[in-house]
């Protein structure tokens, strides 16, 4: 029976037993050309309203559902373009030759077709609190692996390039993932992490990064 990477409980040991994991930080590089992204007047207005709702909140005291509804999901909605839509509580299940990955993704930006999610491009993990919480990075890696396999089944491209982020209160940390050797016995996951961005002070940068990711995939699917 193949090992199963369950998002809610996956560990580094679980991951490295079935994949070749390569990690590095990319704090200084511009994320997905974010510095060249232009925000529309409507997007700027939506950001200002969002920030005004958050600036006086004690965000670290809010429960996870409230944080998601007030801070994280609204930002994903602003980033929607074309047929790329924001989704919450998305079930993902994928089978590699030597393991399975499954669970619920907190949020996704992906291609929507006839009211259903077809291809997940950006995976979002909201960090859970409490003594039994798991490291959000490893959850994110497992979800990226699942999304890469699902996208590969749609387009057959290798390597698969996609993005993720994990949030802690209003802080966002982005990850660029490259998944290769998808049909091999031990696929390779290469990841690069950004620095942390605070939504109350870096909202424009966060939205530009999200727009850059969406633009990348819109251009890619147009080819």
Q: Please give the residue that has the higher pLDDT: either 82 or 181.
A: 181
* The pLDDT of residue 51: 87
pLDDT of amino acid 56: 79
User: Is it the case that residue 217 has pLDDT exceeding 90?
Assistant: no
- Res 53: pLDDT: 83
Parallel/antiparallel/unpaired status of strands 188-198 and 20-25: parallel
How does pLDDT run across 87-130, given as a tens digit for each residue?
999 999 999 999 999 999 999 999 988 788 888 999 999 988 65
Residue 169 pLDDT > 90: no
pLDDT reported for residue 167: 95
Q: Where are the alpha helices (DSSP H) in the chain?
A: 12-16, 41-54, 64-67, 73-78, 136-155, 199-222
Render the burial of 64-78: b for 16+ CB within 10 Å, e for the rest. beebbebbbbbbbeb
Q: Tell me the C-alpha distance between 145 and 181, whole Å.
A: 12
Distance CA 119, CA 109 (A): 9
131 pLDDT exceeds 50? no
Q: Are 141 and 189 in contact (CB under 8 A)?
A: yes
- The per-residue pLDDT for range 14-71, each reduced to its tens digit, is 999 999 999 987 765 666 667 788 999 999 999 999 988 888 777 777 788 888 999 9
Percent of the chain with pLDDT over 90: 66
**Greatest CA separation found in the chain?**
54
Give me the chain's average pLDDT, please.
Answer: 89
Whole-structure pTM value: 0.92
Residue 128 neighbours by CB under 8 Å, 6+ apart: 64, 134, 136
How much is the pLDDT for 28?
A: 58
- Angle of CA points 202, 207, 212, to nearest 5°: 125
């Amino acid at each position: 029976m193949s090992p199963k990477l369950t998002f809610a409980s996956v560990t580094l040991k679980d991951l490295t037993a079935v994949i070749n994991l390569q990690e590095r930080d990319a704090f200084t590089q511009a994320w997905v050309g974010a510095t060249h992204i232009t925000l529309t007047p409507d997007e700027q207005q939506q950001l200002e309203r969002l920030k005004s709702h958050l600036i006086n909140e004690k965000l670290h005291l809010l429960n996870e559902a409230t944080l998601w509804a007030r801070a994280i999901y609204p930002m994903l909605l602003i980033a929607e373009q074309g047929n790329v839509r924001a989704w919450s509580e998305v079930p993902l299940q994928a089978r590699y030759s030597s393991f399975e990955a499954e669970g619920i993704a907190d949020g996704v930006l992906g291609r929507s077709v006839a009211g259903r999610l077809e291809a997940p491009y950006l995976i979002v993990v909201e960090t859970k609190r409490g003594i039994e919480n798991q490291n959000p990075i490893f959850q994110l890696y497992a979800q990226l692996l699942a999304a890469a396999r699902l996208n590969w089944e749609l387009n057959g491209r290798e390597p698969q390039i996609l993005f993720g982020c994990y949030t802690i209160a209003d802080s966002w940390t982005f990850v660029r993932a490259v998944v290769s050797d998808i049909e091999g016995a031990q696929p390779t996951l290469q990841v690069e992490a950004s620095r942390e961005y605070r939504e109350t002070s870096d909202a424009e940068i966060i939205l530009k990064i999200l727009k850059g990711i969406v633009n990348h995939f819109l251009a890619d699917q147009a080819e």
